[in-house]
Amino acid sequence: MRELEERIKQEGIVREGNVLKVDSFLNHQCDVALYADMGDEWARRFAGRPVDKILTIEASGIGIACVAATRFNNTPVVFARKSQSINLDGEQYVARVHSYTHGNDNTVIVAKRFLNKGEHVLIIDDFLANGCALDGLIEICEQAGAIVEGIGIAVEKGFQPGGKRLREKGFDVQSLAIVKSMDAKTGKIEFE
């Protein structure tokens, strides 16, 4: 998606350790017009697939998923939580995932009543690198007996293994920008 690639080239900042900062428009400050265009693009790419629910994970995925949902007939969005909250009670689906971003293990939690057997789910998230967060969301869908129709990603780091691994497992992963390489010294970012 050219609009997203252009924004990443203009505003993305590459840091040592494979960190790509896009916090001026994607995951701290949010450009909701861009989010809507991303929703339109995912709607084109997943056209024909049934989508009963959009599943994402706090925090950065929520805004993207909610605005994108307005392009999927206002499909309900469920965001997985990363920690227990008094807003969570009742029976829960829980998966354990490692976060390379934060250097720790998280639990990913969804209340059972918001994900049901046989529901068709579109997973949306901001980044795909190693795919650990997605593994957790997929595991939760499996626990629920829900069907993962597709995975919509804003920015995939193509040089990290998550995307390849998930596609080889048969998931329809649609990343709107796939970074082929990036260089913290020169700041140069190339796309596939």
Tokens of 125: 């998230």
DSSP letters of 82-151? SS--TT--SSEEEEEEEETTTTEEEEEEEEGGGS-TT-EEEEEEEEESS-HHHHHHHHHHHHHT-EEEEE
Cis peptide, bond prior to residue 177, ω within 30 of zero: no
| By CB under 8 A, residue 67 contacts a second copy | yes
| By CB under 8 A, residue 32 contacts a second copy | yes
Contacting a second copy within 88-117 (CB under 8 A): 88-89, 101-102, 110-111, 113-114
82 marked as binding residue? no
| By CB under 8 A, residue 62 contacts a second copy | yes
| By CB under 8 A, residue 38 contacts a second copy | no
Which position among 1, 8, 14, 65 is part of the footprint of a second copy (CB under 8 A)? Answer: 65
Consecutive H or E run containing 2: helix 2-11
- The residue ranges that bind a second copy (CB under 8 A) are 15, 17, 19, 21, 23-24, 27-33, 35-36, 58-60, 62-67, 69-70, 74-79, 81, 85-89, 101-102, 110-111, 113-114
